[in-house]
Amino acid sequence: MEQEGEEVEVIHSWSAPRSLSTTLMYSFAQRDDTEVLDEPLYAAFLRITGVERPYRDELLSKMESDGTKVVNNVIFGPGRKKYRFCKHIAKQRVTGLPSDLLKKGKHLILIRNPLDVLQSFEKVVPASFLELGVSELVAIYSELCELGRPPPVIDTADLQQDPKGTLRSLCEDLDIPFQSSMLKWEAGPKPYDGIWAPWWYKSVHKSTEFKQARRFPEPFPLTMYELLEQSLPFYNLLRCHVKQTSSLLKTNLPQPNLPVPANEKLLAWVGDEMLPRESAKVSVFDSVVQGGDSVWEGLRVYNGKIFKLDEHLDRLLDSAKALAFNNVPTRKEIEESIFKTLIRNGMFDNAHIRLSLTRGKKVTSGMSPAFNLYGCTLIVLPEWKPPVYDNTKGITLVTATTRRNSPNNLDSKIHHNNLLNNILAKIEGNNANADDAIMLDKDGYVSETNATNIVSMLLLNFLSQASFFFFV
């Protein structure tokens, strides 16, 4: 398998099985400046791991199985063209390989939603977490980042949806020219196919281009549900780094800037655990999603202390009691969750906590609290946040047409999450370029602003000797 010729620049493609990696190899093989290698580490993987394959003996007899020799003489050996595209399956990066494998050449990560991968995986071998190798794919990405060489990550959904745009973007990331020849190839087996092609490549041999994904997928085999749960988080970790996401998730909106950039990396408490910002989520079966069935408090942290913590917890627990929440965490449990979250984030001043307690997850969707059998969900969301109002320049308010809830409808003494009327009032304030909006009660008397107790707001402004403006 040794190559003759000049030194080539290697392009390493890393993926899990069934990720259109062969299709991408066919695409690169159409370039006039690129030669391709189909899983050069496969024999080394079989020899070291001992896993069984229908073609194991034939493969070991015809392919070099010494990983060091493969890396030095095959992957980085001389060649006849400028580039060499190496299709790698992540799990085949076995221990003992030379470090040059990641340190040299250009690298890309190809990912595919496990929902689509698992559909066809068991055609040759039983599916398992180890066979998928998605954890190794994340490890490769992390190691490349540690080397200061973060690779581009592309999703097969984007290759199917927009092959030209995705390939052009990939070539730009790899600093190689895009060639339109990458979009088409002839059907049938290829001379550079691996020995395993008859077992795995039947579908790709029928292809001549990147095909659009089926509009509606096949039913997912529930026998693989546990494997899906295991592998999906690894896919999601890598998907965060994709330039173009699948069409179902695509948005024309640019990535927004956070008001406080430091909040990009924070830890939040959800349920009974601490989670990074992007992982801090509640179930779609949670009552806060099903019907805004939750209570909340806003806490501020000054000089290592939480302002009026006892009073806020009193109201939180009173509100939960008024709404007949069951299995409410104890006051001590809530306090400890708050303190742990603040300490983990190092937030001891100029911070804000959005403390929420939902009725909890339901066993099935619906409004009845009888479905809430898991207990309440506690959410501690901390942020670095300066005071919302500028007390040195005054606050501009408008009077909203949206009225405050009547106690006959929903008593505002219950600090609940049903805030749509407050949001509508805030929209009126935004449209008037005001800081906030004053809400009136059903009889036309001043009740509060859309976000704050108006008496407290007045007091703060008078204490700071700031001017206070009303526009009715």
Asked whether the beta carbons of 372 and 326 are under 8 A apart, the reply is yes
Task: Output the pLDDT for position 243.
Answer: 80
Across 87-116, b (16+ Cβ under 10 Å) vs e yields bbbbbbbeeebbeebbebbbbbbbbbbbeb
Q: How far is CA 59 from CA 36, 62, 65, 130, in A?
A: 18, 5, 9, 21
Tally of CB atoms within 10 A around 236: 14
User: Residue 458 — pLDDT band, cuts 50, 70, 90?
Assistant: low
pLDDT digits (tens, 9 = 90+) for 365-382: 999 999 999 999 999 999
What are residue 61's phi and psi, to 5 degrees? -80, -20
This prediction's pTM: 0.82
User: Residue 222 — pLDDT band, cuts 50, 70, 90?
Assistant: confident
User: Residue 449 — pLDDT band, cuts 50, 70, 90?
Assistant: confident
pLDDT digits (tens, 9 = 90+) for 172-193: 999 999 999 999 999 999 999 9
Higher pLDDT, 408 or 210: 210
Half-sphere exposure of 37 (CA within 13 A, CB side): 31
Task: Output the pLDDT for position 404.
Answer: 86
Is 80 exceeded by the pLDDT of residue 252? Answer: no
- Percentage of the chain surpassing pLDDT 90? 73
Torsion sign across C-alpha atoms 169, 170, 172, 177: negative
How far apart CA 18 and CA 121 sit, in angstroms, is: 7
| SS3 (DSSP) at 438 | strand
pLDDT digits (tens, 9 = 90+) for 286-309: 999 999 999 999 999 999 999 999
Mean pLDDT in residue range 3-17: 87
Domains of the chain: 9-240 (3.40.50.300), 263-384 (3.30.470.10), 393-471 (3.20.10.10)
Place of tokens 């449209």: 431
Q: Which of 165, 203, 211 is nearest to 184 (CA)?
A: 211
Task: Output the pLDDT for position 472.
Answer: 35
Is 50 exceeded by the pLDDT of residue 2? Answer: no
How far apart CA 158 and CA 112 sit, in angstroms, is: 10
DSSP secondary-structure letter at 217? P
Is 50 exceeded by the pLDDT of residue 357? Answer: yes
Is 70 exceeded by the pLDDT of residue 99? Answer: yes
